[in-house]
């Protein structure tokens, strides 16, 4: 049972309608410090809509969201200062160097000028960007561009970091590096990771919440799951589904 005062995110009864169509139906999302939560589900399950509501980019039709005890709907600017967000497509400027871009993001985050250099150095070190700080982002590999995207998300040292499909399109080596980075960040932040890849959840997450057809169908720690593949397939496709070793639905 999670102590209410320990919650970095407390989103209760979230629903989102488009006309009469309900794409997210009465979903609760709870996150605490030091926890990596995997939001797992097939395409169309409601993951992206849920993430957009949690980040304040989409208003819920019903429900409430608190970010580090701050009501996102009543005080959106103050609440958003408590979180960092990496969408599926990293919001980077390819014609800037890594250092220029991170300093630009620091100004957008209203980090005091005297603190900018220190915070850029902090984010660069955490994300392994020191050696490419003077290079144009457009000349970096996709794996390094993802690292730059994560760096801008943690630049202001937020309580919550939300990552939407952070390893999509990466090669196996880059995937391992990003997963290792997420595990390290999880020691100091609360992290929500949206994915449809089972091994990703198994590799980096402490707890998994499975969405299907807009509803939460499973929510538990990985310690309490003998076979996540079997649980996932049984819930999504029925008890007769056959789990494979590596699945991306």
Measured from the Cβ of residue 225, the count of other Cβ atoms closer than 10 Å reads 17
Q: Is-contact 151 181, C-beta < 8 A?
A: no
CB-based burial of residue 176 (10 Å sphere; 0-12 exposed, 13-18 middle, 19+ buried)? middle
Domain residue ranges of the chain, discontinuous segments joined by +: 91-157
| Cβ-proximal residues to 74 (8 Å cutoff; 6+ apart), any chain | none
pTM above 0.75, yes or no: yes
- Cα radius of gyration rounded to whole Å, the chain: 18
pLDDT tens series, the chain, 249 aa: 444 567 999 999 999 999 999 999 999 999 998 899 999 988 888 998 999 999 999 999 999 999 999 999 999 999 999 999 999 888 999 999 999 999 999 999 999 988 999 999 999 999 999 999 999 999 999 999 999 999 999 999 999 999 998 988 889 998 999 999 999 999 889 999 998 888 888 889 999 999 999 999 989 888 766 677 777 777 777 644 444 444 444
């Amino acid at each position: 049972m999670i102590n209410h005062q320990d919650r970095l995110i407390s989103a209760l009864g979230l629903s989102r309608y488009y006309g009469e169509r309900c794409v997210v139906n009465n979903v609760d999302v709870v996150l605490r410090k030091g926890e990596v939560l995997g939001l797992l589900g097939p395409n169309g399950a409601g993951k992206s809509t849920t993430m957009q509501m949690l980040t304040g980019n989409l208003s819920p039709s019903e429900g409430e969201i608190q970010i580090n005890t701050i009501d996102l709907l009543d005080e959106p600017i103050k609440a958003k200062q408590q979180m960092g967000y990496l969408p599926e497509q990293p919001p980077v400027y390819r014609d800037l160097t890594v250092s220029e871009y991170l300093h630009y993001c620091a100004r957008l985050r209203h980090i005091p000028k005297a603190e900018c250099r220190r915070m850029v150095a902090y984010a660069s070190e955490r994300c392994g960007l020191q050696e490419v700080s003077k290079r144009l982002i457009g000349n970096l590999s996709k794996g390094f561009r993802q690292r730059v995207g994560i760096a801008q998300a943690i630049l202001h040292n937020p309580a919550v970091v939300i990552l939407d499909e952070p390893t999509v399109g990466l090669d196996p080596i880059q995937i391992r590096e990003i997963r290792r980075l997420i595990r390290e960040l999880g020691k100091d932040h609360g992290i929500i990771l949206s994915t449809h890849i089972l091994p990703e959840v198994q590799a980096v997450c402490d707890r998994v919440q499975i969405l299907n057809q807009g509803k939460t169908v499973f929510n538990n720690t990985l310690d309490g799951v003998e076979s996540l593949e079997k649980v996932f397939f049984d819930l999504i496709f029925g008890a007769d589904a056959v789990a494979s070793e590596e699945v991306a639905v």
